[in-house]
């Protein structure tokens, strides 16, 4: 894949220098290390979670019970000095249980708004697929616009704001699968996986893990805003944009995919790639960033055809197949374009 023209997508914001990128990478590493210090294993997952936080995206942690999903969410909140709330999603959970409700105040003769648990910096939606679709849908507005509407009045979610939803991939009884529109609201789907031998033995011995509530913040709201602004200055060349679009287009025409990647998905990956490159100390995005983010950002947005489902196909495997078929741009086109 080649490019003939170059459009600097950081025009008006100033190009990020290598020295600046290294400085910001150190800050992101400190943030990830702080959050990761209370979670055994999954260092790459913690870094991706930190990238999602910087992108103001949301996380879907799909893993078996007991591997530390809730602990990771609490650690992220502590690392940025924020408040976390955990909501256990059940079939009888109502939308108002999340968003809040207006309560009549007899003293003032008016209704007072009592905010729900959604008004926290990190909200853990535990076993999100156990709640009814109506309750799941109550998250759509705040996930997209960071606003909550109750009785016609809009309330602003705090900053930073991150929803970490969990679901068990092997248990389906009594669950309501998330619709495609809601899956598309999650920037990434991640998995901690089982810890290695040393980490699991450490868990059994109850050694080496501080409580997330005891962690000292590695960044505040102003620091996060500086990192976000720096991420927006990371250069994405025309050839990389074309590469992202070519991969997305291949999924839209794949015979075993009923639903390919949307423009929201391509924009999300380009946004995440900027911040991943910054986290790795680079002022520009390379094709490897796209390939590294493809499964976390894109796999959960793909919908298989019925025939592919019956045949046991996996969206992540099909995505890997597409990435092998679409040629990546040459290094000179990436850095120079």
Of 15-29, 60-74, 287-301, least confident by mean pLDDT is: 60-74
Q: State phi, psi for 146 to the nearest 5 degrees.
A: 60, 35
Domains 1-16+233-337 and 22-222 alike in fold: no
What's the whole-model pTM score?
0.88
Residue 325: its pLDDT value, please?
95
The alpha helices in the chain, defined as continuous H runs, are 18-36, 43-54, 69-79, 95-99, 133-137, 140-145, 180-183, 197-205, 221-232, 238-252, 263-279, 287-298, 306-310, 315-325, 331-336
Residue 282: its pLDDT value, please?
95
**pLDDT band (50, 70, 90) for residue 5:** very low
pLDDT digits (tens, 9 = 90+) for 202-250: 778 766 678 888 899 998 888 999 999 999 999 999 999 999 999 999 9
Mean pLDDT on 1-30 = 72
* Alpha-carbon gap, residue 16 to 205, rounded angstroms: 45
* Alpha-carbon gap, residue 81 to 316, rounded angstroms: 34
In percent, the amount of the chain with pLDDT more than 70 equals 92
Give which of 138, 118, 136 is closest to 127, Cα–Cα.
Answer: 136
1-16+233-337 is classed in which CATH architecture? Orthogonal Bundle (1.10)
Candidates 1.10.3470.10, 3.90.850.10, 3.30.70.380, 3.40.50.300; CATH matching 22-222: 3.40.50.300
Under 8 Å between Cβ of 35 and 74? no
Regarding predicted confidence, which is higher, 34 or 200?
34
In percent, the amount of the chain with pLDDT more than 90 equals 57
* pLDDT over 60 (residue 11): no
Residue 4: its pLDDT value, please?
36
Mean pLDDT on 128-132 = 91
Extents of the domains making up the chain: 1-16+233-337, 22-222
Residue 317: its pLDDT value, please?
92
pLDDT digits (tens, 9 = 90+) for 182-204: 899 999 999 888 888 887 887 78
Tokens matching residue 315: 């969206």
Instruction: Give the DSSP letter of residue 208.
Output: S
**What's the whole-number average pLDDT of the chain?**
88
Mean pLDDT on 46-66 = 90
Give which of 78, 55, 80, 34 is closest to 278, Cα–Cα.
Answer: 55
Q: How many CA atoms lie within 13 A of 267 on its CB side?
A: 7
Give which of 116, 152, 121 is closest to 135, Cα–Cα.
Answer: 116
pLDDT digits (tens, 9 = 90+) for 274-309: 999 999 999 999 999 999 999 999 999 999 999 999
């Amino acid at each position: 894949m080649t490019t003939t023209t170059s459009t600097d997508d950081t025009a008006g914001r100033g190009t990020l220098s290598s020295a600046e990128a290294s400085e910001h990478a150190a800050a992101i590493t400190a943030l990830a290390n702080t959050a990761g210090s209370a979670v055994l294993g999954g260092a790459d997952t913690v870094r991706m979670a930190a990238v999602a936080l910087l992108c103001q995206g949301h996380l879907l942690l799909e893993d078996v019970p007991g591997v530390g999903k809730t602990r990771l969410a609490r650690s992220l909140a502590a690392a940025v000095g924020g408040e976390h709330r955990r909501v256990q999603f059940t079939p009888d959970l109502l939308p108002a249980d999340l968003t809040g409700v207006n309560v009549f105040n007899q003293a003032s003769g008016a209704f007072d708004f009592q905010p729900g648990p959604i008004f926290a910096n990190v909200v853990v939606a535990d076993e999100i697929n156990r709640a009814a679709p109506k309750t799941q849908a109550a998250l759509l507005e705040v996930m997209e616009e960071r606003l909550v509407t109750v009785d016609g009045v809009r309330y602003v979610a705090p900053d930073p704001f991150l929803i970490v939803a969990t679901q068990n991939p092997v248990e389906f009884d009594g669950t309501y699968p998330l619709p495609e529109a809601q899956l598309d609201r999650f920037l990434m789907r991640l998995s901690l996986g089982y810890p290695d031998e040393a980490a699991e033995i450490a868990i059994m011995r109850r050694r080496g893990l501080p409580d997330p509530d005891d962690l000292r913040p590695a960044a505040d709201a102003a620091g996060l805003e500086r990192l976000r602004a720096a991420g927006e200055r990371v250069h994405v060349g025309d050839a990389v944009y074309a590469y992202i679009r070519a991969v997305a287009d291949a999924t839209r025409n794949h015979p075993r995919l009923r639903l390919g990647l949307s423009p929201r998905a391509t924009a999300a990956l380009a946004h995440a790639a900027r911040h991943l490159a910054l986290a790795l100390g680079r002022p520009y995005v390379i094709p490897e960033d796209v390939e590294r983010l493809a499964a976390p950002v894109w796999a959960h947005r793909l919908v298989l055809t019925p025939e592919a489902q019956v045949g046991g196909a996996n969206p992540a495997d099909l995505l890997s197949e597409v990435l092998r078929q679409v040629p990546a741009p040459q290094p000179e086109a990436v850095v120079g374009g």
